[in-house]
Structure 1
């Protein structure tokens, strides 16, 4: 069991690293894509929006597959989908096809989060689940740092860059196919509910409705701030802070180092003081540091402030364990995936909206607006259960399943 636990941890980290790589590469490539295809700022923002809309759709599709057919099959399907449609960008003929491909890739990209979060919750004991989930999701900033390195090597040839990134997904796909076993917790629960078909209705009805709605609202607000800020950060640095394009990759890489350290550091803290408290702390932290970053004009100060506010985006990693614990095994991927990915779907408007705001108040003003969304997310988090794994099973009215979930891997 211990060996399985570590295989899941490493494999899920790698799968999510490639997931992050595909998302962040688009942000870094937008300046080159705009020049090459003659796109406006609004059109470029729509490319990011299309990706997030696809991610929103995956909240239903990914959770349905994972809860009804297994975590492993769902993860394999997700990797194949986003790898294939990312590689296809290499031959995209026009803006419309580009939008469609990003939407389809987004379906696979969003489903990965749902599955890896469920895998970690179901294979790691409660006492270390927060740090384990945070480590897996810290693959996102690690993927962002890798994206900065890759973009520096390939840009302005963004077509070749996406071809290489898409085909490289065969690496995590191979690991999942060969070394992963199906979640024992899911398999046992599925055997007990063999006739049941899980759907979104299961998490939108009864006593689960409140936590689903609040969890979705928290994720939507936090991710609106996150995607609004990070999508346009390279453009902000070049247009308003006069950084040369070759320096942006370094800034983004340092920022992602701060994110990686923050995800893992706050993951340990979450296991000590609780997931929800740590989420609130990080949301308030980024709400305070983001405006400071936006108003700073000194380039050296910007370089070192980036990792500071980046560290506070650790809520992104903590959502994995916290949202997963809010739902029982039978609907875990559906419930957690719905909250997080519908939140990401709602946040699809953020890149487009910030592009519009930039014409009025500048990108720095837009970043300050994003900080307000983080603060609102912290308020919503206060309304959610303090520790989902200790709550009674809201579906069956029993504590047995949650107790089994918490101790299955100890």
Structure 2
């Protein structure tokens, strides 16, 4: 079911990234300030953060397949509804509600692969599935290039398209046998904070929060930065970002192999540190040729999300795997909700370039924090927390 998981997460990425491509047009059409534009992205990520516990809890109690289908349906409906959005306030609300669905997909597909693939190949398998994120970015860029400035139609087509992964999951997915075999008593979300898991949960959320703050701050404003600060036309920006996302796709899969070879932890440190070094080079690049080549290089190292899928899944026992992994990753996304808004405010005074450099600093901090988490090579998965009736 790698292909089905790949397509499901590709649409998750597509829905998230459409806003980045459409944001310059939306701001002009609705007369939004930079801060208001950032609030649209913030609302999406806040919805993802809120779903960090609910989606994982649902998957651990009611199954991976059912949770994935509910998540897909929720973000598809609320994304398509933007076609008739009457006001900025309603736009913010719809993005928040779509985020509630978007937050569930990463944890479920990551957990599903962790539970169905052997440990020796797990890194590359999860990385392949999650490498659909940059492919979703390519599709978003192509759709944006074809449909903008009609941003309402863009969101409608993106939302309706979710029917494709829904059919794939509904028809071809089988429930995780590992989940079905171990399910006995209902899972409580608080179990991921049991003494034997508390440190892993807390540190995992910190690393993801630092990384996601930097990632979403950069990805939200990068198209605007290329247009406003570098003077690149919108059509050319779409091409630049397509090349960038192809570099990210290659990076995900190469780092999946690296993770299986040197361990998920070491691969994560390398990936995060690589972004911290290459993103500033991209920001200070003076001409379009340099931007065209440095973009894929910086994106190549931005493979941490793919490795997180395998690492965080192995960090928790089967009983609370989706709850724990989803909490860490999506709390990170929730924290990153403030990145677009914060960087939008920073851009008003210091420029978007300065904001992107701040994002690189967050990546460096994430790499350092990652060193405090365990290296799971050859380790037995931590035991499930004791359950009290």
TM-score normalised according to structure 2 size: 0.98
- Give aligned pairs, total: 386
**Residue in structure 1 matched with residue 144 of structure 2 by the alignment:** 151
TM-score normalised according to structure 1 size: 0.93
Whole-angstrom distance in 2 between the partners of 1:30 and 1:378: 30
Whole-angstrom distance in 2 between the partners of 1:172 and 1:396: 34
Q: Does 1:255 align with 2:248?
A: no
Matched-pair contact (CA < 8 Å) for 2:320–2:384: no
SS of the residue 1:207 aligns to: coil
**Residue in structure 2 matched with residue 309 of structure 1 by the alignment:** 298
Gaps in structure 1 of 5+ consecutive residues: 1-7, 398-410
- The 4+ residue runs of structure 1 with deviation greater than 4 A are none
Q: Deviations over 1:344-380 (max 9, x none)?
A: 0001000000001112221111111111100110111
Please state how far the C-alpha of 1:394 moved relative to its aligned partner: 3.6
Whole-angstrom distance in 1 between the partners of 2:31 and 2:187: 45
Q: Does 1:282 align with 2:275?
A: no
Residues 30-39 or 219-228, more deviating: 30-39
Matched-pair contact (CA < 8 Å) for 1:87–1:164: yes
Q: Does 1:50 align with 2:36?
A: no
Matched-pair contact (CA < 8 Å) for 1:227–1:350: yes
**Residue in structure 1 matched with residue 162 of structure 2 by the alignment:** 169
**Residue in structure 2 matched with residue 68 of structure 1 by the alignment:** 61
Whole-angstrom distance in 1 between the partners of 2:279 and 2:37: 23
SS of the residue 1:390 aligns to: coil
Which of 85, 94, 105 is 1:101 aligned to? 94
**1:327-406 aligned within 5 A:** 327-387=316-376, 390-395=379-384
Task: Provide the aligned C-alpha RMSD in A.
Answer: 1.0
Please state how far the C-alpha of 1:199 moved relative to its aligned partner: 2.2
**Residue in structure 2 matched with residue 178 of structure 1 by the alignment:** 171
SS of the residue 2:78 aligns to: helix
Please state how far the C-alpha of 1:389 moved relative to its aligned partner: 6.7
Q: Does 1:203 align with 2:192?
A: yes
Whole-angstrom distance in 2 between the partners of 1:219 and 1:34: 29
**Residue in structure 2 matched with residue 140 of structure 1 by the alignment:** 133
Matched-pair contact (CA < 8 Å) for 2:316–2:381: no
Please state how far the C-alpha of 1:123 moved relative to its aligned partner: 0.6
SS of the residue 1:210 aligns to: helix
Gaps in structure 2 of 5+ consecutive residues: none
**Residue in structure 2 matched with residue 224 of structure 1 by the alignment:** 213
**Residue in structure 2 matched with residue 87 of structure 1 by the alignment:** 80
**Residue in structure 2 matched with residue 406 of structure 1 by the alignment:** none
Matched-pair contact (CA < 8 Å) for 2:196–2:385: no
